[in-house]
C-alpha cells in the first residue's frame, strides 16, 4: 500500500492512506498515513458503525492539508465495543464430535455435508436480512463445494473449467465456505461478531475446518508447485495452524 | 484493537520481517483543499465485481469498481487467509467506504466522489505493481481525481 502511494504521488496525484502496521509505514515513508489500531482486514474499525467509519475517513482525508511530509499520525480512538475483543462463540447447532480417527475422510466429508445443510437455513436468513452475500467467488454453491472437496480428498479428478487452476479453485472454494458459515452465524441472535471469536469458532468447532485442513495436508504432499503453495500458505491461517499440528 | 506487540511472537516476527521496498525519498504533492477535492479510493483487498476475473497468486493488476456498484456485486478474492474477512462480509464499507464517501460529498466535506474506484491485491510485491500504479494515476487524473485514499487490509 505504501509503495502504491509513492508511485501515484510521483505521478502528481496527492495520496493519503490508512496504515494497519505502524512499523511498515515508518519504514516505507509514504507521503501521508494514518495508523489505526484495528484488526487486519478491518481498516475502518467496525462493521455497520457509520459514524465511526466516517470519522476515520475524515481523519485520513485531513492529512491532505499538510504542506510538508511525510506525515505519519495515529488515530486516537479504538474501534467500538465488540469489534476487536475476543469472545467465545457458541456452536449454533449440535454437529456431534467430528470424526477423529485416522483414515475417516469419508465420515468427515459426510459430517461436512450435513453441517452445510444445517447452516443453510441461517444463511438464507442472513441473505434476507442483509440483501447480500460475499460468497460466490469460486462460482460454486456450498453443496457443489462439498463435491469438489470430496473429489479432491478421495483422489478423483475434479471436473473444473479448463482455464481454472485447481489450486485457485480450492482456495476460493475454501474462502466461500468460510464466508457461508460466518454469514450464517452472524444471522443468529446474540452471537459476537469479533474477529477472534469468529475465527476460533470456525477453525475450532466445525467439520468444514477439518476438511480444509485435510486439503492442506494433501496439497503439501503434491508435486505441483501451485498446490504446494496453497498447502503452505493459502488454506489455513498461520494463527490457527496450532490446532492441526502436534505440540 | 490490534498492535504489533499484541500478536504472538511467530506472527509478529512474520509481519516485522515482511520485505518492504525502501524508498530514498518521499514524493509530496501539495494536497487539494479537502472540501473541494474529487476523491477516489484504491483498496488492496482483492475486491472486484462478481463477473470480473478473480485475483490469483502473483497478480499485479487492478480491477475497476464503478462508484455506483451494488454491495452484493462486490466480492473478495485476495489470496491471503491471514486477515479478517468477516467485517467485509457484514459491511462493504469496512474495506471500501463508498457510502461514507458519498455522505461526505452530500455534507459538503469533500468536493465530489470519483466515477471509478480500484482494487489491487496486496499480497504481491508492491514494486511489481509500479507500472500499473503509474498508469492508473494517469487515468484518475483524466477522471478529474485530485485526492486518492489508499486502504489496505
Chain segment A98-146, per-residue pLDDT in tens: 555 545 899 999 999 999 999 999 999 999 999 999 999 999 999 999 9
Flag whether B26 is in a domain: no
Q: pLDDT band at residue B3, thresholds of 50, 70 and 90?
A: confident
Nearest Cβ partner for B90 among A7, A165, A186: A186
Flag whether B32 is in a domain: no
Provide, as residue numbers in chain B, all residues whose Cβ is less than 8 Å from the Cβ of A24.
15, 18, 20
Chain segment A44-57, per-residue pLDDT in tens: 999 999 999 999 99
Q: pLDDT band at residue A83, thresholds of 50, 70 and 90?
A: very low
Percent of chain A with pLDDT over 70: 90
- Look up cell 474506484; give the residue: B117
Q: pLDDT band at residue A247, thresholds of 50, 70 and 90?
A: low
Q: pLDDT band at residue A166, thresholds of 50, 70 and 90?
A: very high
Integer Cα distance of B67 and A64 in angstroms: 22
Percent of chain B with pLDDT over 70: 99
Flag whether B5 is in a domain: no
Q: What share of chain B is helix, strand, coil (3-state, %, to 5)?
A: 35, 20, 50
Q: At what angle do helices A207-220 and A195-205 cross, to 10 degrees?
A: 70
Q: Do B88 and A41 touch (CB under 8 A)?
A: yes
Flag whether B2 is in a domain: no
Q: Do B79 and A5 touch (CB under 8 A)?
A: no
pTM: 0.93
Task: State chain A's mean pLDDT as an integer.
Answer: 90
Nearest Cβ partner for B110 among A61, A179, A233: A61
Q: What ipTM does this complex have?
A: 0.95
Question: Torsion angle, CA of B120/B124/B126/B128, rounded to 10 degrees?
Answer: -100
Flag whether B6 is in a domain: no
Chain segment A210-237, per-residue pLDDT in tens: 999 999 999 999 999 999 999 999 999 9
Q: Do A237 and B57 touch (CB under 8 A)?
A: no
What is the span of the domain harbouring residue B92?
A: 37-151
- The minimum CA-CA distance between A76 and chain B, rounded to whole Å, is 12
Question: Among candidates B55, B143, B69, B34, which has minimal Cα distance to A62?
Answer: B34
DSSP assignments along A70-116, one per residue? -EEEE---PPPTTSS-------SS---PPP-STT-HHHHHHHHHHHH
Average pLDDT over residues B119-144: 94
Provide, as residue numbers in chain B, all residues whose Cβ is less than 8 Å from the Cβ of A7.
129-130, 133-134, 137
Flag whether B9 is in a domain: no
Q: Do A44 and B100 touch (CB under 8 A)?
A: yes
Amino acid at each position: 500500500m505504501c509503495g502504491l502511494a509513492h508511485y501515484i504521488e510521483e505521478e502528481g496525484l496527492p495520496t493519503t492512506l490508512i496504515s494497519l502496521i505502524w512499523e511498515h509505514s515508518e519504514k516505507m515513508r509514504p507521503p501521508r498515513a494514518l495508523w489505526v489500531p484495528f484488526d487486519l482486514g478491518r481498516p475502518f474499525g467496525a462493521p455497520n458503525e457509520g459514524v465511526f467509519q466516517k470519522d476515520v475517513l475524515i481523519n485520513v482525508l485531513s492529512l491532505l492539508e499538510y504542506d510538508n511530509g511525510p506525515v505519519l499520525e495515529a488515530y486516537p480512538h479504538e474501534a467500538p465495543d465488540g469489534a476487536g475483543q475476543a469472545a467465545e462463540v457458541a456452536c449454533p447447532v449440535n454437529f456431534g464430535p467430528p470424526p477423529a480417527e485416522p483414515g475417516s475422510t469419508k465420515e468427515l466429508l459426510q459430517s461436512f455435508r450435513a453441517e452445510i445443510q444445517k447452516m443453510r437455513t441461517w444463511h438464507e436468513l442472513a441473505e434476507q436480512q442483509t440483501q447480500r452475500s460475499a460468497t460466490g467467488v469460486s462460482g460454486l454453491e456450498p453443496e457443489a463445494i462439498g463435491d469438489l472437496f470430496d473429489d479432491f480428498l478421495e483422489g478423483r479428478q475434479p471436473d473444473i473449467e479448463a482455464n481454472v487452476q485447481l489450486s485457485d479453485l480450492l482456495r476460493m472454494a475454501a474462502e466461500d465456505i468460510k464466508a457461508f458459515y460466518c454469514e450464517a452465524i452472524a444471522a443468529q441472535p446474540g452471537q459476537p461478531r469479533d474477529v477472534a471469536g469468529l475465527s476460533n469458532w470456525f477453525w475450532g468447532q466445525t467439520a468444514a475446518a477439518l476438511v480444509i485442513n485435510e486439503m492442506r495436508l494433501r496439497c503439501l504432499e503434491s508435486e505441483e508447485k501451485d498446490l504446494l503453495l496453497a498447502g503452505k500458505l493459502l488454506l489455513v491461517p498461520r494463527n490457527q495452524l496450532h490446532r492441526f499440528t502436534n505440540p | 484493537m490490534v498492535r504489533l506487540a499484541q500478536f504472538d511472537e511467530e506472527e509478529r516476527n512474520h509481519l516485522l520481517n515482511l520485505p518492504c521496498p525502501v524508498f530514498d525519498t518521499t514524493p509530496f504533492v501539495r494536497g487539494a483543499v479537502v472540501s473541494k477535492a474529487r476523491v477516489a479510493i484504491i483498496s488492496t483487498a482483492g475486491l472486484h465485481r462478481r463477473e470480473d476475473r478473480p485475483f490469483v497468486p502473483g497478480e499485479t493488476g487492478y480491477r475497476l469498481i464503478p462508484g455506483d456498484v451494488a454491495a452484493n456485486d462486490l466480492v473478495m478474492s485476495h489470496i491471503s487467509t491471514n486477515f479478517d474477512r468477516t467485517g467485509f462480509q457484514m459491511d462493504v464499507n469496512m474495506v471500501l467506504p463508498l457510502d461514507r464517501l458519498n455522505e461526505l460529498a452530500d455534507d459538503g466535506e469533500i468536493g465530489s466522489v470519483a466515477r471509478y474506484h480500484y482494487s489491487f491485491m496486496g499480497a504481491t510485491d508492491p514494486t511489481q505493481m509500479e507500472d500499473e500504479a503509474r498508469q492508473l494515476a494517469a487515468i484518475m487524473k483524466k477522471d478529474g481525481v485530485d485526492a486518492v485514499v489508499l486502504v489496505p487490509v
